[in-house]
């Protein structure tokens, strides 16, 4: 599981100016554009975690704290949830299931997909995608997060008893909550703008 992930939100109206099979290339071209693209190696990450391109702002990247860009914390968040979920009240369990299934967790049967072909299609041009959610799905995820957030602290005791792994990835409740809050930030901001959420394997 040495995979890295880059999580970003992308302007849906700009993406959909081209067919699905051409959108990922369009996004990557904007990212790497010498004049207006993302990479300035000395650019600071905002306190909110957002990294913005120099150009017209068709996308923004979110840096998760303490993850160093690795997919491992996101993978292990799903693993911790599997250990925890049977000890969570059913209404909250349903909401967290929906949030994680929509983002990073393959579910208890390992079959859930996080890449919606409506975003980039499902052909060879979509390779390297870990996550692709259009604005409608993002709004639903943001609503899940809105309902989860006030109750999140109530998971501490159950997490500590059933899912904690001192020294492991997201092995304590504070790290787990921080990761979920990072995803909450991503889906909330994307929903506010009507944008897509994308996770690229790097």
What are the tens digits of pLDDT across the range 35-48?
A: 777 665 555 555 67
pTM for the predicted model, two decimal places: 0.92
> 3-state class of 150 per DSSP?
helix
pLDDT per residue as tens digits for the range 144-157: 999 999 999 999 99
pLDDT per residue as tens digits for the range 116-152: 999 999 887 778 899 999 999 999 999 999 999 999 9
pLDDT at 191: 98
pLDDT at 1: 46
pLDDT at 188: 98
pLDDT at 43: 57
> Is the confidence at residue 20, as pLDDT, over 80?
yes
Select the more confidently predicted residue: 3 or 193. Answer: 193
**Choice among 16-25, 38-47, 100-109 with the minimum mean pLDDT:** 38-47
The residue behind tokens 């079959």 is 111
Average pLDDT over residues 25-54: 74
Q: What is the mean pLDDT of the chain?
A: 90
- CA 42, 45, 51, 55 dihedral sign is negative
Q: Which two tokens stand for residue 26?
A: 């369009």
- Give the Cα-Cα-Cα angle 51, 171, 142 (nearest 5 degrees): 45
For residues 102 and 140, the answer to whether their CB atoms sit within 8 Å is: yes
The residue behind tokens 């499902």 is 122
Quote the CA–CA distance of 73 and 195 in Å, as a whole number: 24
Average pLDDT over residues 196-202: 92
């Amino acid at each position: 599981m040495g995979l890295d992930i880059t999580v970003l939100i992308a302007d849906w109206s700009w993406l959909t100016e081209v067919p699905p099979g051409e959108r990922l290339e369009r996004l990557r071209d904007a990212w790497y554009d010498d004049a207006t693209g993302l990479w300035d190696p000395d650019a600071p990450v905002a306190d909110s975690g957002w990294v913005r391109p120099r150009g017209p702002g068709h996308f923004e990247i979110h840096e998760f704290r303490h993850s160093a860009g690795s997919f491992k914390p996101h993978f292990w968040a799903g693993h911790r949830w599997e250990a925890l979920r049977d000890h969570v009240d059913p209404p909250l369990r349903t909401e967290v299931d929906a949030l994680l299934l929509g983002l990073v967790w393959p579910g208890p049967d390992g079959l859930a997909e996080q890449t919606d072909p409506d975003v980039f299609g499902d052909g060879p041009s979509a390779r390297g995608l870990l996550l692709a959610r259009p604005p409608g799905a993002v709004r639903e995820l943001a609503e899940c997060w809105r309902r989860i957030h006030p109750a999140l602290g109530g998971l501490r005791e159950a997490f500590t008893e059933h899912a904690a792994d001192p020294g492991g990835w997201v092995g304590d409740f504070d790290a787990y909550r921080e990761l979920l809050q990072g995803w909450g930030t991503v889906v909330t901001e994307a929903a506010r703008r009507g944008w897509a959420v994308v996770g690229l394997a790097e």
